[in-house]
Amino acid sequence: MPRAIWKGAISFGLVHIPVSLVSATSAQGVDFDWLDKRSMDPVGYKRVNKTTGKEVTKDNIVKGVAFEKGRYVVLSEEEIRSAHPKSTQTIEIIAFVAGDQIPLQNIDTPYFLAPDKRGGKVYALLRETLRKTRKVALANVVLHTKQHLAALMPLESALVLVMLRWPAEVRSLDELELPSDVTKPSLAKGELDMAKCLVEDMSADWQPEDYRDSFQEKIMALVAKKAKAGKIEDVESQEGSEERKSADVIDLTELLKRSLAGKPAAKKTAKKKAS
C-alpha cells in the first residue's frame, strides 16, 4: 500500500474510526526543469521587486492582502498563524446528504482511506451504511494547517475522502448567460432519435488502459532515445522531506449505540432550556 500522508480518525457522535489517508491519484505529466544552457545548472525563481527589478532579501519581505487597488493590509506571521484552524487529526462528520446533491463543479481531489489500528469493523459498518442509505458524509478536516470541506463516500470495499471546493469558490452557471436556444431548445424528435442512435453506436465499456497521454509517451520515448545515445547532462538536485503527523485513536465500536441513545436526551434537555 502507498505510504500514508496523514493519520487520524473519522469522528461522528461518540464513534472514532482510526484511518490512514492515502493519495488516490499520482501526477503523470512531464516535468520540465529550467537549466542554464551554458553550465547545465538549475535555474530557480528569484524574489524580485516588480517596480525596481532588483532582488529582495527574505528579511525584507512581508505578506499583504489587497484591500483596494494598489492598497494592501500587511499581516505579521503571528497574525497569520493565529488564523490557521487547529489541527485535530479528525475527519469530523457534520452531516449526511444524498450523493447526487453535491454539484459536480464542487468536487476536487480524491483520497483513499484505509482502516488503522483495530478500526476495520467500524470502518466496514460506516461504508455499508453509506452504501445502503445512498448517502455521503460531509466532513471538516484540516490538512497541513488548511481547512477543507470533504465528502466521505463508499467505493467498492473502501472509503474515499473527496475534497470539495468551498461553495464561495464555485461560480454560478448564471454567469455563462446561456441563450434561450440552449436553455429552452426546440428539438425535433428525429434529431433526438438520431443523436441517441449515434451515442448507442459509440457506446463502450470503461477500459482505463485504452486512454493514455500521448504527449507524455512521445516525450518520454524521446528522452529514452537521447539517453541511450549518451546525450545526458549531470545536474545537482536537492530533495525535500515532508513531515507527517499521526494520532493514536482508540476504536470503540460500542459508542455507536451510546451516540444514538444520547440524541433523544439531548433534545429533551434543549426543550427544557427553551421553556
pLDDT in tens, 123-182: 999 999 999 999 999 999 988 778 899 999 999 999 999 999 999 999 888 888 889 989
In a domain, 53, yes or no: no
Quick check: is 209 in a domain? Answer: no
pLDDT at 70 over 90: no
- Structural domain contains residue 120: yes
Spatial distance between the Cα atoms of 134 and 256, rounded to a whole number of angstroms: 20
Domain that holds residue 127: 4-26+63-169
Q: Look at residue 67 and tell me if it is in a domain.
A: yes
For 174-215, the DSSP string reads GGG---HHHHS----HHHHHHHHHHHHHT-----GGG---HH
Residue 39 domain-assigned? no
Taking residues 55-62, what's their average pLDDT? Answer: 83
Any idea what the CATH number is for the domain that residue 126 is in? Answer: 2.40.290.10
Could you give the number of structural domains in the chain?
1
